[in-house]
Amino acid sequence: MNSFEPKLQADWSHLDEANNPAMVDVSAKAFSLRTATALAEMWLPPEVASRLIEGEIQAPKGPVFHTAIIAGTMAAKQTSNLIPFCHPLPLEGIHISIQARNGGLLEIKAEAKVTYKTGVEMEALTAATVAALTVYDMCKVFSHAMEIRNVRLVEKQGGKSDYQTNA
């Protein structure tokens, strides 16, 4: 089977027996601690990077990194309203950090935590993505050439299986 051939319906978690979209039933699952970490990278052109990486984190719309962290946190709490089959989760923790790297890169890391019956990966991914979008929105006055890259899950723990990448 190549990557373009459709999978059998049994492989898709969000289809019911009649092949209709459905939220996964987690009622029989036990509560357990679930954590997830997601990363988003942003490339900043020199006219943006020089302002953010060299210390000026205040854009015309306000403090860039702090606003992005708040936006990412708010987004994590709204994930089930954005992604149709995500379960609403009682998040117990969300931590977002933004680090400047060489070459005009920002690394936005979102860590989410919950004790529940299903994982928290989508919340971490949403937080990292919305934080990156917020940086873009706040800095587009300087340049539209920014790029949001490599949004990905780097770790999850709890549930059926753990996952970790070297990224």
Active-site residue set: 137
Contact predicate 108/37, CB 8 Å: no
Token pair for 58: 């205040």
Kindly give the residue spans of alpha helices, DSSP state H, lying in the chain.
46-52, 64-77, 79-82, 121-139
Residue whose token pair is 């919305």: 130
User: Which amino acid is residue 164, in one-letter code?
Assistant: Q
d(CA 29, CA 25): 9
111-to-24, 55, 68, 71, 94 alpha-carbon distances in Å = 23, 25, 14, 14, 6
* Cβ proximity of 110 and 37 under 8 Å: yes
